[in-house]
Amino acid sequence: MSKKKKQPKVRRQERRFFPQSTFSPWLVRSFGALGAAVMGAGALGMQRDMFAGDEKMKAIPSYLVAGGAVLTGLAIWLGTSSDPPLRVGAPGVGVERGEIRRMPWYAVEAITFESGALSLVVVGKDDTGQSWTLKVPVKAQPDAVGWIVTEAQRRIPKTVDIADEVLAKLPRAEQHAGLVVDLEPVQVVGKRCAASDKTISYEPDARICERCERVYFKRSVPKKCKCGANLAHLRDAKGQDDALADEDESDDVDEAAEAEAEAPQDEKDSSKAAEV
């Protein structure tokens, strides 16, 4: 592995949020506790063979076990929501249904609030480019709502279109909410540069906006990302092809030839750096 000058490592994480049951937690717990108690009593009866002498009573313990199991099952069913877990973090907003479908921050077009359904509405495209509208109900996913809003305000503030008085009433991003998951770095090979449309074929050529995770070719990094983040620190010291960064693709050929001519020099530099 060559030790090339890379983007400083940013710890990539996201939070995983399980949906809350919309049933009262006390109801769920009562069913659960009652189920366990009844099952326990039945099991004890069976074990001690309490009603062994009476033919009619003999079956009671097994009925108790069966009844208790039904109550416990009901508690589990009431306590489990059919809504999928959500993920909020560096790669955007994701929904877990077997695989994770994600909407990267750079692909979010608008974040609004539907006061009738009490849901946060995230409109944009998923990571395959398909249009997607994701509704997150406050009741089932209060922590996810809090984190989506907070992260979006920091990363892509222009897309958050929610009145201040509504924002004030929404759940907050609790520090201990959800389960923090460590993530792999962004898979950049095969992605297209957001400024030049050039396909990234070599990982060290990529520069990533830390806020929205837009990917840029190292020499096409604009001064400012489309999300509003300052990208000056990611611009190549050797000089930027600003014409290209400003979406002028006319000198694409020169750019490619230049890159090829430069490549061996880069190799030498890196081997030298590795020796030191």
Would you count residue 225 as binding Zn ion (CB under 5 A)?
yes
Q: Considering only 19-27, 56-64, 198-206, 222-230, which stretch makes contact with Zn ion by CB under 5 A? A: 222-230
Is 240 in contact with 224 (CB distance < 8 Å)? no
Rule CB under 5 A: choose which of 193, 227, 244, 245 binds Zn ion: 227
With contacts defined by CB under 5 A, how many residues of the chain interact with Zn ion?
A: 7
Q: What is the DSSP letter of 252?
A: H
Which of 100, 118, 229, 243 binds Zn ion (CB under 5 A)? It is 229
Which CB, 110 or 177, lies closer to Zn ion?
Answer: 110
Q: Does 194 bind Zn ion (CB under 5 A)?
A: no
Give me the residues paired with residue 122 across strands: 111, 134
Residue 104 near residue 127 (C-beta atoms within 8 A): yes
Out of 107, 212, 215, 245, the only residue in the binding site for Zn ion (CB under 5 A) is 212
Query: What is the β-pairing status of strands 86-89 and 13-17?
Result: antiparallel
Interaction between residue 211 and Zn ion (CB under 5 A): yes
- Our measurement of the distance from residue 181's CA atom to the centroid of its chain's CA atoms, rounded to an integer in Å, reads 9
CB atoms within 10 A of CB 144: 28
Helix or strand holding residue 264 (H, E): helix 252-275
CB of 248 to Zn ion, least distance (A): 20
CB of 220 to Zn ion, least distance (A): 14
Q: Which residues in this chain contact Zn ion in the complex, by CB under 5 A?
A: 209, 211-212, 214, 225, 227, 229
